[in-house]
Amino acid sequence: MNNVYYGKLIFELSKPGRRGYSLPKNEFDGYSLEQLPVARRENKTLLPEVDELTVARHYTNMSNNNFGVDTGFYPLGSCTMKYNPKVNEELAALQGFNIHPSTPDCAAQGALKLYDEVQRTLAEISGLSRFTLNPYAGAHGELTGLMVIGTYHRQRGDVNRTKIIVPDSAHGTNPASAAVAGFQIVQVKSTAQGTVDVEDLKPLLGPDIAGMMMTNPNTLGLFETQIPEIARLVHECGGLMYYDGANLNPMLGVCRPGDMGFDVMHINLHKTFSTPHGGGGPGSGPVGVRAGLEHCLPNPQVVYNEEKGRYEQHFDEESLGSVSGFLGNFGVIIRAYAYLLTLGRENVPMAGRLSVLNANYIKERLRSHYKLPIDVVCKHEFVFDGLREEYGGDHHDAEHVTTLDVAKRLLDYGYHAPTIYFPLLFHEALMIEPTETESKDTLDAFIDVMIRIAEEAKSDPKMVKSAPHNTPIRRLDDVKAVKEPKFTFKAL
């Protein structure tokens, strides 16, 4: 790219004396900061000196280096990256919602009403009794939900339940949240079919089990068919069932965690109900509970006071306490509300079904080129285990094209790579979730590129192994980036 601004740090564009502003002439003759030594800095500020046009070009060029759902297809598995309709942004920016978090309830009735309607809609979608929208992200929701479970046992004087069961296919946040909530983690294995192994679960159950976390569809995109039996076993031993609903897409309007026997769950608004969340953007991890656990939810709780005919923030003494400063990331909640209203009750199930159809379409069209370790109808996502043998997938020499190479080559064709080497159940995992928002044309174009890469792996493996070739930066040394990160610009 022949562009002097391209790939440079703003400090590298700096020229002594360059300015992007001019201050008015000092009209207070005789007075200046020079007379106030304590107000003067001792060292030169380390700021770039650039004109306005350079700043504009620098940041515009940088934004062009970003990849997002708004620039191209982003088939990341385990983390729904669906399109965020622009009307959501407009509604979230409405002046009336731009209120201070300490606004008294009487002056925030509209915002509280919206908040409560999202709580009620999520309860209806999930078949649970009550939701809180306080948590700021999925992992924060998990922590909150696990605190609900801990509070429930403690309030009943059942204090020896110190362990949480987590499947080996779980998202890494599950064991992490359980540990932060003060529980020990007990891992339960998956069967060769990729679902929780009930026989492995049975001996783990006992009076020390506080609960079990399950993700459904699980991280392999499979529906956990043994849930009724698992829920019965866990409840029988006195534990509660936790549902990780970060990616609730395929379940929408089809089946409900509450009906399956789950007691507590979280939902990621920033995955299932739009909101862009690349790069760790703002999130929201609402937590729902079945009837009888509502009092454990965190404070403040937004409730409708029938007597007074208004919404208020309620502080329950039996609550687990507070998990956030105020009521959560309100902007994300508005976007979810807008998303739900634009779809409407009658169309929400369509989103789920299309996400399943799209995933199965890609899987079926690519299975003659990529290894499909678990051959069933998937839900919103699925996992390949590298290339098939005839495309070099089983060789173990230096020319062997790996999942990493395929992912790097996809960048050359303008696609974001899928999730790779996760879940850990397969050596060459390549995990694809197209979401319901992509058209058949986009899916077909992606499939063609994936097939092309498989052919290249056979005809020109060296080229695939040295990809990407067309990106501003070529293949990075991932290990060095982790072991020797550079956070500062040394040339100053």
Ligand X SMILES: *Cc1c(COP(=O)(O)O)cnc(C)c1O
Chain residues that interact with ligand X, rule: CB under 6 A:
78-79, 137-139, 171, 173, 215, 244, 246-247, 268, 283, 285
What are all long-range contacts of 52-57, with beta carbons under 8 Å and residues at least 24 apart?
Answer: 52/20, 52/21, 54/5, 54/13, 54/18, 54/20, 55/10, 55/20, 57/5
Phi and psi dihedrals of 450, rounded to 5? -60, -40
AA letter at 208: D
| Shortest distance in whole angstroms from residue 174 CB to ligand X | 7
For residues 146 and 161, give the distance between their C-alpha atoms in angstroms, rounded to a whole number.
12
| Shortest distance in whole angstroms from residue 142 CB to ligand X | 6
| Shortest distance in whole angstroms from residue 119 CB to ligand X | 18
Query: Whose Cβ is closer to ligand X: residue 298's or residue 461's?
Result: 298
Two tokens, residue 229: 């039996």
Query: Whose Cβ is closer to ligand X: residue 173's or residue 403's?
Result: 173
For residues 450 and 296, give the distance between their C-alpha atoms in angstroms, rounded to a whole number.
48
Per DSSP bridges, beta strands 429-432 and 419-420 are antiparallel
Query: Whose Cβ is closer to ligand X: residue 13's or residue 181's?
Result: 181
CA atoms within 13 A on the CB side of 470: 8
CB 245 within 8 A of CB 251: yes
For residues 435 and 433, give the distance between their C-alpha atoms in angstroms, rounded to a whole number.
6
Two tokens, residue 306: 């029938």
| Shortest distance in whole angstroms from residue 80 CB to ligand X | 7
Two tokens, residue 343: 């779809």
| Shortest distance in whole angstroms from residue 431 CB to ligand X | 11
| Shortest distance in whole angstroms from residue 21 CB to ligand X | 39
Task: Tell me the residue number closest to ligand X, measured at CB.
Answer: 138
Query: Whose Cβ is closer to ligand X: residue 285's or residue 386's?
Result: 285
| Shortest distance in whole angstroms from residue 146 CB to ligand X | 12
Alpha-carbon separation of residue 404 from 171, 189, 242, 396 (angstroms)? 20, 26, 33, 14
Phi and psi dihedrals of 202, rounded to 5? -50, -50
| Shortest distance in whole angstroms from residue 170 CB to ligand X | 7
For residues 431 and 424, give the distance between their C-alpha atoms in angstroms, rounded to a whole number.
11
Per DSSP bridges, beta strands 240-245 and 301-305 are unpaired
Two tokens, residue 265: 């769950």
Neighbours of 279 (CB within 10 A): 7
Query: Whose Cβ is closer to ligand X: residue 112's or residue 269's?
Result: 269
| Shortest distance in whole angstroms from residue 141 CB to ligand X | 8
